[in-house]
Structure 1
């Protein structure tokens, strides 16, 4: 007897997966003697495993390279996804069929909290309870980790198979190593997300399309400029005709120095731009480029979306005291930047108003040379910085 109806493989939401896994939990509770206290202890054990610190945590984020913005984004999202999973466990409806009496668990030996140890360590009659609890714990830890890359985890269809999410074991272990021990590359997050959703490997991609939906950083899908730069959003809809496509950066951009004269603050008009994403021709191994096209008054400028998202990841987001005036700051026209070819260097820094427009800001981030670009909301910053004023 199995605990799910996933067959040889199908996409399921987190709610559907947790609901199916409840048969494992119910069977484990019954095999351990039953009772709501037993169930509460088992759920508490799951909560301890989903924590990001402490002796029972399966993904430690309380140590390592703490100065990374990506680590902060991931840690916040891990907490949010863990809370989602625990809420779904609390609300999961009773299963339509009785769960298995025993199971061969794939669990890799996650630690048990003391109340669970007291429930499960005993005579041989508790062997099925241990197996069932281990498998339930293992499957829901895999689910939590599978959803970490996404800003909207409740909406993401995860590809489950005959063994639940066990197919993700190797990919999850690889991703956990990246998260816990290394400087986390955006490509690593995208690669794991593609394994979760599509069962495919994305190399060097910043997003992908699969099964009638696109997965991209949220700022590329109308998300806020000051929102996450490393996480991904799942959105129903297509950009290219292929069922599976991996979006990769274009290559070979030259560097230009902005030569238009600087203007005084208040002299540069911020125009409203239209925008759209245009796919490039199919490339090797199912790859495509995407071009962000922005237009105003009959003029259009193009920026490679991969370069724009790279600039978004590299741009500083300072905190600190607010500057009282920008009257002494050289102000540049965003259109002057977009008119240049390739990557643009702004001499001696300055201020570029955007009017809070997402598309204009993203287009500028795709043209400005990374390194001293700041997403600016009024803070005091180091001299020589290029301030993209993202205030509306």
Structure 2
């Protein structure tokens, strides 16, 4: 069995069985252009496994058909129609289908999704321009066939830039062109919105099943409506992102944990395998791995990954103790490094009708196991030092600073906290230790440092909740 692994600098995270996705993507049951019920030629995505670019390739057939039907005045030039697509996929402007820019979402989940919408929209338009430049559909079907494409698009509300209005409704356009263009725009909007939860959205495989009642990606509309209502209402949570992602990839799951496995791989929060200081906290990442392995003859099962402690507030807690006073020995130097552990394993536990994943590593001969869900929860809840003009005063106020060895924190059962004081923990610049600590510390007032110098400590003291026990992690 070939294990799947992530590499983080000189560290590794390994688990499960790697899945060969390339053999599944692009194998379709038919053609997206086929004989219609009431028309000569219709369009629909054939059943199969797609990634984003494969969908764009199939959508290009509609664009090429429009260019043929618009005739000589357009002369096959897609610029105007693609410029209007770009305006629809932008996050601001009168044509925007998802006007996140004017909302200026400041919550962490909203800001990450906003940045995603920009990235995905720009790349989809770039692919649309690139693919159309090859005129592959024209070479495959010919102008006579493309000229017969016609269908009813049951969708409203995608405005066009003035130049596109002039083309689509001009003397060579009309309702037939408008129906095709409306569907073309709508499918792109559905594609962009479907991929919003995924940091590696270009790689995510999802299954499309052909429906007679609606076209292409329209099966996503009910879940999309719920998701966008939560996003625009500033009520987006990690669990709601998970639920939407499960619908997008047709997992069949109804319950949502912090991640899941479906028949084409595993989806976990995007921070895994990245730096905890810079990685997204709410986005997800798809991995080509069978986390809960099955026989070669069995299909990959859909599984939701649960937190060990569904309510972390009610989880058992133990105190870290007073530690070593910093005033007596000073803080550990910020430049120290731990060579070990160099590898972490994700180990599933499927007992009691629940599936949890454990983050397992070996440190100084001791086995350390932390719930993976709690690690991601700790990552979402952590604080970062912010600027403070009076750092010296802040340091003077915090005389109860002590430091702890990471190994001592791991020696306690349950989640680790303290009744009072400021507690410094060095990870030795080992990202595996850092991630494990985020799952071990009670996630209430944990501040992640970059340098641990005098200025940053001063800023850290006034970060977080501003009161109560505080853990500073470097």
Q: Taking structure 1 as the reference length, what is the TM-score of the superposition?
A: 0.89
Counterpart position of 2:321: 259
Counterpart position of 1:351: 424
SS of the residue corresponding to residue 62 of structure 1 reads helix
Is it true that 1:318 corresponds to 2:385 in the alignment? yes
Q: Distance in 2 between matches of 1:283 and 1:129?
A: 57
Of the three residues 154, 172, 178, the one matched with 1:106 is 154
* Change over 3 Å in CA distance of 1:212–1:124 after alignment to 2: closer
Aligned CA-pair RMSD: 2.8
* Change over 3 Å in CA distance of 1:270–1:258 after alignment to 2: farther
Deviation at 1:289, TM superposition (A): 1.0
Q: Distance in 2 between matches of 1:290 and 1:282?
A: 11
Alignment of structure 1 residues 1-392 onto 2, 5 Å: 1-2=33-34, 6-7=45-46, 9-33=47-71, 35=74, 39-64=78-103, 66-92=105-131, 93=134, 94-95=136-137, 96-97=140-141, 98-99=145-146, 101-121=149-169, 126-162=174-210, 163-220=215-272, 222-226=273-277, 227-241=279-293, 242-251=300-309, 253-264=315-326, 265-266=331-332, 271=338, 272-273=340-341, 274-281=343-350, 284=353, 288-320=355-387, 329-346=401-418, 347-378=420-451, 379=456, 380-383=459-462, 385-389=470-474
Moved more, 204-213 or 258-267: 258-267
Q: Deviations over 1:36-63 (max 9, x none)?
A: 6862111111111111122221112135
Is 2:261–2:304's contact at 8 Å kept on the other side of the alignment? yes
SS of the residue corresponding to residue 219 of structure 1 reads coil
Is 1:159–1:199's contact at 8 Å kept on the other side of the alignment? no
Q: Deviations over 1:276-316 (max 9, x none)?
A: 111111565xx521111121132112211111101100111
SS of the residue corresponding to residue 66 of structure 1 reads coil
- Greater Rg, structure 1 or structure 2? 2
Is 1:28–1:128's contact at 8 Å kept on the other side of the alignment? no
SS of the residue corresponding to residue 216 of structure 2 reads coil
* Change over 3 Å in CA distance of 1:303–1:65 after alignment to 2: farther
Which runs of 5 or more structure 2 residues have no equivalent in the other structure?
A: 1-32, 35-41, 294-299, 463-468
Number of residue pairs aligned between Structure 1 and Structure 2:
385
Is 1:31–1:126's contact at 8 Å kept on the other side of the alignment? no
Deviation at 1:124, TM superposition (A): 9.9
SS of the residue corresponding to residue 198 of structure 1 reads coil
* Change over 3 Å in CA distance of 1:318–1:51 after alignment to 2: farther
Which runs of 5 or more structure 1 residues have no equivalent in the other structure?
A: none
* Change over 3 Å in CA distance of 1:44–1:230 after alignment to 2: same
* Change over 3 Å in CA distance of 1:36–1:230 after alignment to 2: farther
* Change over 3 Å in CA distance of 1:196–1:256 after alignment to 2: same
